[in-house]
Each structure stands twice: as C-alpha cells, then as structure tokens.
C-alpha cells in the first residue's frame, strides 16, 4: 500500500489549531480553534480509515486504536464532543469570567483600611503588604451528550491523570495519540 499525506495533513492542521488556542487573545478565538482542532482530529481517523481500510488486515489491526477511542475517557470525550458540536445545539465549552484576588503578601489574613475602585483603578490602603492576582477569563470543558449518552469531562488518558482545566494539554494528549496511531499504521501497512 502506498503512503498517503492526507491523514498527516489533518494532524498538522490539528496541531496548528492547538498553537492557535495557546496564543488566543479572546475566548471566542480560543473556542473556534478548539472546534477546529476537534474536527481536524476526527478527520485524521477518517482519512486513515479511507487509506488503510483498503487492506484486508485493517479490521483486525485497527482494534488497538479503535478500542481506546471508545473506552479511554479522554479519547472518547474528544470523539463525542466533536459529534455534539456537529450534530446538536448544545454548548461544548464553558466560560469562567476573569477576576482579581486580593490577599496578604505574607500570612493568611489581610486587613484593609480602605479600598476604592474608580474607573477600573483600584486603590487599597493597608498596613500590610498585599498581593493582587489577576485571574484571566478562560474556557472550560463541559460534559457533553452525544447520541443520548453523556460523556464526562476527562480526568485520565490511557491510565494517567490529565488536568481537565488545561484544555490545551487535553488537546495535546489527543494529538499525540493520533500521531502514534499514524506512525504505527504507516509502519504496518506501507511497504
């Protein structure tokens, strides 16, 4: 069987979407790149199936990857969140607003004598040193329903923990799985 660039092109585009998520300046931009990533990642599987499925050995071989796509929490989530985005009107991401945290720079308690907020400018008078943390708004994963089944936010991938609050790392883990899938498919089918 001959090599096909198509699955690799889709994986490269999925990785471009990850980079775009990483550098997004707005939540809408992040969300659009997340959706782009999900679509491109599923196309990797579909294009590989189109290419390698011509082999009589495909049905036996694909199980080592098809099984985890259905049972691994992260992979099943990625497959089904894309399906929910494509075929339902349900939201697939949440948004947490940004904010500020005002804390003692040292110790656990803070005494504020006076605090004023004027045109977005904060003035604080305290006998203690203070620490102000700016918390950016962020996109979060949501449980999704696809074809009547609920898929929870993934917390593990192939037996290892993942941080579901870090959407980019979730995407990177999915892309890594498909990269390994393509490498092994090429090694097995392309002679």
What is the rounded distance in angstroms from the CA atom of residue 3 to the CA atom of residue 6? 9
Which is it for the CA torsion 59, 62, 64, 68, positive or negative?
negative
What is the rounded distance in angstroms from the CA atom of residue 141 to the CA atom of residue 32? 14
Cα–Cα nearest to 154, from 138, 171, 176? 171
Would you give per-residue pLDDT tens digits along the chain (191 residues)? 777 899 999 999 999 999 999 999 999 999 999 999 999 999 999 999 999 998 999 999 999 999 999 999 999 999 999 999 999 999 999 999 888 889 999 988 999 999 998 998 889 999 999 998 888 889 999 999 999 999 999 999 999 999 999 999 999 999 999 999 999 999 999 87
The full set of domain ranges for the chain reads 6-96+138-189, 99-135
Intra-chain end-to-end CA distance of the chain, in Å: 6
Please write the tens of the pLDDT for every residue from 104-144: 999 889 999 999 989 988 899 999 999 988 888 899 999 99
Q: Write down the pLDDT at residue 4.
A: 84
Cα–Cα nearest to 6, from 36, 35, 49? 49
């Amino acid at each position: 069987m001959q090599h096909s660039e198509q699955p690799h092109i889709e994986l490269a585009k999925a990785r471009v979407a990850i980079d775009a998520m990483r550098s997004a300046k707005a939540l809408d931009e992040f969300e659009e790149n997340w959706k782009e990533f999900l679509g491109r990642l599923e196309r990797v599987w579909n294009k590989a199936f189109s290419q390698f499925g011509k082999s009589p050995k495909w049905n036996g071989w694909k199980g080592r990857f098809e099984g985890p796509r259905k049972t691994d929490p992260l992979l099943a989530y990625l497959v089904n969140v894309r399906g929910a985005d494509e075929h339902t009107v349900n939201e697939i991401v949440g948004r947490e607003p940004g904010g500020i945290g005002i804390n003692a720079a040292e110790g656990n308690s803070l005494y504020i004598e006076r605090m004023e907020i004027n045109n977005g400018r904060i003035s604080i008078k305290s006998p203690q040193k203070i620490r102000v943390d700016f918390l950016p708004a962020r996109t979060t994963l949501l449980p999704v329903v696809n074809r009547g089944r609920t898929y929870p936010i993934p917390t593990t991938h192939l037996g290892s923990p993942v941080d579901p609050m870090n959407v980019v790392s979730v995407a990177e883990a999915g892309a890594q799985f498909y990269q390994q899938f393509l490498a092994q498919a090429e090694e097995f089918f392309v002679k």
